[in-house]
Structure 1
Amino acid sequence: MQPNVQRYRASRVAFTIGAVVALGLRVATQNTTWPLIALGVAVVVGLVIDLAIRKA
C-alpha cells in the first residue's frame, strides 16, 4: 500500500473512532466538554500516526 493511502486511512480511522467516542460521551453525559476533548485527542492521534508513517 502506498504511504499516502496509509496516511489517509490511518487519519480517517482515528477521526472516526474519535467521533464515535465523542457521540457516545455526548449522549451519556449530556455535556459537550468531554466530546470536544475526545475529538481533539483523535485529531492529535491521527496527526501523530500520519507523521510516523511519513517518517518511515
Structure 2
Amino acid sequence: MAGEVDVPYLGSIPLDPRIGKSCDAGISFLDEYPDSPATRAYLDIIKEIKKQVTH
C-alpha cells in the first residue's frame, strides 16, 4: 500500500491487545512491556523515521 501512494514503508506492528489497554490506562506500552515483539517493532519504526527525517 505504501508503494501505491509513493511513501516509504516504515514497518508493521504485530497485534497485541495490551497496546489498547495501555492506551486506555494512559501508560506507555513501550515502558510497560519492553520485551514485547510489538515494542521492538515500534522502536524499529521510530529508528526508520529518524533516518528519514535526518536525510
| TM-score, reference length from structure 2 | 0.45
Q: Output the TM-score relative to the length of structure 1.
A: 0.44
Flag the structure with more relative contact order, 1 or 2, with Cα contacts below 8 A and sequence separation at least 6: 1
